[in-house]
């Protein structure tokens, strides 16, 4: 089994990019399998910071190949900006970055539809990143979409025009939205020329041939399992399968090829956008978590909602993903807290439960917390698990015991080397 998976166990931004970048050197290929530029994966090393949206987080490891799989939706404008930043930083990608021809394209009118649909929802809005994700996946499943491979076909402009016209007629049901379509379209067409210069492959053959040759592959998830289109807090979710099952459809590989499923969780919990979040804190402690953790979106800059870790929620996402090991990130954010809480159950209508209810969006869910002693000291310069303060070790042991899965790594800072392998 040669494909290991890294994915988020919460509502995104768990630190997937950092962990993928750290582990990438142990693999031959890093592949994104779903999502699109709604993702923002932050990497920090050698005093530099990069935020990747479409490009896999293995791109800074010079010997590794990177594949944008067919399950991803691509906005050529964002992609071309990301490539500019790589070029500026002197990172080569011409022979290392591959794009599956079957990946779908985000059109400017997909973004316009996203904005119009969110505006029309008023209070019920999803809090979308407005990158056109929902409308693009709708066209994919509705069998109207344009794919990367289509840009080389003779009838591409005709098909583009037909899809744009369809979008314009759909837009008539919405109030007008502030969006300079002409300017965006010009940028998009220009960016297609950048896309044309990249290595386009039949991603499913590319990956399966690599597997036959014994290559090791790391699949990089985007968003988090609680944003999965099927198992997340619907309708406050994204439009792709963010869970491990998405690897098979998003890369064209058999389930039997999947090896380790590495689930990432913060030592606490955040969410950006609307929707249920049972352990959210609306008080000073929540604000402290936001400040200590620098919890502002990597893609949109929005403040993230903050709260304590939610164990029933994690048990659920461990279950649907088949998680084999956990990486706990941002444990250093808790350094200053004299007391740390963990959500151990919910009270709904006076009843206690550890299960996420079907109607999670409509219920008044009261979290039940268990308190833990904080360590109230810096973790700076700690490089082994043994050297962690006892209270930090105890917190990790507690999480392992509660979840029934080993914590294999603990991240103590945003930089690449700030990682303890347990
Ligand atoms: P992703 O979307 O899962 O890749 O995560 P994001 O990049 O959106 O958000 C994670 C944020 O936390 C980024 O700003 C990272 O630089 C930062 N980060 C990652 N790991 C750690 C950690 O262990 N400690 C701290 N303090 N920050 C971290
Ligand atoms: P990474 O990969 C956190 C959230 C949005 C919104 C909902 C739907 O960086 O962890 P969409 O743009 O998909 O229509 O938004 O999902 N969302 C994310 N939240 N991290 C992400 O990605 C996210 N991608 C989407 O805030 O609530
Ligand atoms: Mg992110």
Tens digit of each residue's pLDDT (9 = 90 or more) over 239-259: 999 999 999 999 999 999 999
Residue with tokens 């402009």: 157
Structure confidence at residue 336 (pLDDT):
93
**pLDDT level of residue 123 (50, 70, 90 thresholds):** confident
CB of residue 138 inside a 6 A radius of ligand 2:
no
Q: How far apart are CA 76 and CA 79, in angstroms?
A: 5
Tens digit of each residue's pLDDT (9 = 90 or more) over 156-192: 999 999 999 999 999 999 999 999 999 999 999 999 9
Structure confidence at residue 300 (pLDDT):
86
**In testing the pocket of ligand 1, which one of 222, 414, 416, 417 has its CB within 8 Å of the most ligand atoms?**
414
Closest CA to 305 of 330, 332, 273, 335: 273
CA of 136 to the centre of ligand 1 (A): 27
Count Cα atoms within 13 angstroms, Cβ side, for 226: 28
**C-alpha dist (Å) from residue 34 to 99, 156, 396:** 13, 24, 30
CB of residue 35 inside a 6 A radius of ligand 1:
no
3-state class (DSSP) for residue 396:
helix
Tens digit of each residue's pLDDT (9 = 90 or more) over 274-318: 999 999 999 999 999 999 999 998 888 899 999 999 999 999 999
CB of residue 273 inside a 6 A radius of ligand 2:
yes
> Please, what is the Cα angle at 78 between 72 and 81, to 5 degrees?
135
Who wins on pLDDT, 122 or 5?
Answer: 5
pTM of the model: 0.97
Q: Which two three-digit tokens encode residue 119?
A: 């505006």
Check whether 1 has a pLDDT greater than 70. no
Tens digit of each residue's pLDDT (9 = 90 or more) over 373-419: 999 999 999 999 999 999 999 999 999 999 999 999 999 999 999 99
**pLDDT level of residue 17 (50, 70, 90 thresholds):** very high
Q: By mean pLDDT, which of 150-159, 259-268, 292-301, 364-373 is the weakest?
A: 292-301
Structure confidence at residue 298 (pLDDT):
83
The answer for residues whose C-beta is within 8 angstroms of residue 363's C-beta and 6 or more apart is 276, 348, 349, 357
Nearest listed ligand to the Cα of residue 295? 1
Residue with tokens 């209070």: 123
């Amino acid at each position: 089994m040669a494909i290991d998976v890294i994915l988020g166990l919460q509502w995104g931004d768990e630190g997937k990019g950092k962990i993928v970048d750290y582990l990438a050197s142990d693999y031959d290929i890093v592949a994104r399998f779903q999502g699109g530029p709604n993702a923002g994966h932050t990497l920090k090393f050698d005093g530099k910071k990069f935020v990747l949206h479409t490009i896999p987080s293995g791109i800074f490891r010079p010997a590794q190949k990177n594949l944008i799989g067919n399950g991803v939706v691509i906005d050529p404008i964002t992609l071309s900006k990301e490539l500019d930043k790589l070029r500026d930083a002197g990172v080569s990608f011409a022979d290392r970055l591959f794009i599956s021809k079957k990946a779908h394209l985000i059109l400017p009118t997909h973004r316009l539809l996203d904005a119009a649909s969110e505006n029309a929802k008023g209070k019920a809005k999803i809090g979308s990143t407005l990158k056109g994700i929902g409308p693009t996946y709708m066209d994919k499943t509705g069998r109207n979409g344009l794919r990367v491979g289509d840009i080389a076909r003779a009838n591409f402009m005709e098909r583009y025009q037909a899809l744009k016209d369809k979008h314009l007629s759909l837009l008539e049901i919405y109030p007008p939205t502030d969006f300079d379509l002409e300017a965006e379209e010009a940028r998009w067409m220009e960016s297609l020329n950048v896309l044309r210069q990249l290595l386009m492959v039949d991603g499913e053959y590319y990956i399966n041939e690599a597997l036959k040759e014994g290559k090791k592959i790391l699949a990089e998830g985007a968003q988090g399992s609680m944003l999965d289109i099927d198992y997340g807090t619907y309708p406050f979710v994204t439009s792709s399968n963010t869970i491990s099952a998405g690897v098979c459809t998003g890369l064209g590989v058999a389930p039997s090829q999947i090896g380790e499923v590495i689930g990432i969780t913060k030592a606490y919990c955040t969410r950006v956008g609307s929707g249920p979040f049972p352990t959210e804190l609306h008080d000073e402690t929540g604000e402290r978590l936001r400040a200590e953790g620098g919890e502002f979106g990597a893609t949109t800059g929005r403040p993230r909602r903050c709260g304590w870790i939610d164990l029933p929620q994690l048990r659920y996402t461990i279950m649907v993903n088949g998680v084999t090991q956990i990486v706990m990130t941002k444990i250093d954010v808790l350094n200053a807290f004299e007391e740390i809480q963990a959500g151990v159950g919910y009270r709904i209508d006076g009843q206690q439960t550890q299960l996420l209810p079907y109607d999670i969006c409509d219920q008044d869910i009261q979290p039940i917390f268990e308190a833990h002693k904080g360590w109230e000291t810096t973790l700076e310069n700690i490089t082994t698990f043994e050297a962690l303060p006892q209270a930090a070790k105890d917190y990790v042991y507690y999480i392992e015991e509660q979840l029934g899965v080993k914590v294999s790594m603990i991240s103590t800072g945003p930089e690449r080397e700030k990682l303890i392998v347990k």
